[in-house]
Amino acid sequence: MLDLDRLRALHAVANHGSVSAAAEALHVTTSAVSQQLAKLERETGHKLLERNGRGIRLTDAAKLLVVHAEGILSLVEQAEADLEAHRGVVVGELAVAAFPTAIRGLMPAALASLRVAHPGLRVLVKEYDPSLSVPLVARGDIDLAIVQDWNNVPLPIPEGLVKGTICEDAADVALPSTHPLAHRDEVDLKELAGDAWISSTPGSICCDWLTHTLRSVDSEPHIDHMAYEFATQLALVAAGLGNAILPRLGRGTVPEGVRLVVLRQSLSRRVYAVWRHEAARRPAICEALDALRASAGAV
């Protein structure tokens, strides 16, 4: 009979590309993963890994076994979720990934309420950009990801994942108080064509979105400064170094020298949670969603 832990080790190697990366994802030693794979080779009578330059690759037998392992592990996760739902008690661990402003703007109140309501639940939070957290959920490394996308650029969600909306988050343009349009109550993006811009780091969702959005109004973006944190972006705006488009969640205190103006285009981002279909009945996920929505409503 095939051992579940050994199948999980092979599945992790297939997903992460190496024994060491699989060990890190499974929170065990590299030696432990190697031993599990060696035992699985003896059980199946097939060689599962072979050298490929400095790395390794799965044999045809291993690839076939990984397909079955995915189905087996999926059924196990679904069974565990059903048992948790049957017990009706919110306990255990819930690994959550979230982008920075969601951690700052939503998680503190949500975590505090979960701790009071469900002392047997341990929530572990890590900061990740949505482009990284969604694959982590799909692989099973994270239980729940708090992600975002923009109303004009949706984030693709892989098959097998479920998403639930937490809130809609409107965005405003932050202008230096010396900007010619800073006195306005509303501004059109086209009126800011040719301006210098401040955005998040390259490759992040917000940076890619700003580039797409400005080009959609025939304005080639001039992004002179890049910083991930909103507070840093606002400090650069206050110094007169450019404009920034910032959503309201987690924006923090607006410094002197910055004027927030409503955008005529009504730009907003959607904040939602993503989890695996097999885990949909887990009470911990349902309670976490309720707590996050309540936190968003309070904000």
Q: What is the CATH number of the domain that holds 224?
A: 3.40.190.290
For 113, residues 6+ apart whose C-beta sits below 8 A from its C-beta are 291, 294, 295
CATH, residue 26: 1.10.10.10
Domain termination residue (choose one: 43, 69, 85): 85
Domain termination residue (choose one: 55, 85, 115): 85
> Looking at the DSSP assignment, which residues form a beta bridge with residue 127?
98
- The string of pLDDT tens digits covering residues 29-75 is 888 888 888 888 888 888 888 887 777 888 888 888 878 877 777 77
Same domain for 148 and 277?
yes
Domain termination residue (choose one: 40, 68, 85): 85
CATH, residue 283: 3.40.190.10
Same domain for 214 and 233?
yes
Query: What mean pLDDT comes out for the span 81-101?
Result: 80
- What's the domain range around 53? 4-85
Domain count, the chain: 3
How confident is the model at residue 85, as a pLDDT? 63
Burial class of 150 by CB neighbour count within 10 A (0 to 12, 13 to 18, 19+): buried
Kindly state the percentage of the chain with pLDDT values over 90: 40
Asked if pLDDT for residue 247 goes beyond 80, the answer is yes
Kindly state the DSSP code that residue 156 receives in the 8-state scheme.
P
Question: Residue 177's pLDDT band (boundaries 50, 70, 90)?
Answer: very high
Same domain for 70 and 106?
no
Same domain for 73 and 155?
no
Same domain for 248 and 188?
yes
Dist CA 117 CA 120 (whole Å): 9
Same domain for 172 and 231?
yes
Same domain for 275 and 161?
yes
Give the chain's count of helices (H) and strands (E).
10, 12
Same domain for 18 and 105?
no
Same domain for 221 and 260?
yes
**Packing angle between helix 4-16 and helix 19-26, nearest 10 degrees?**
120
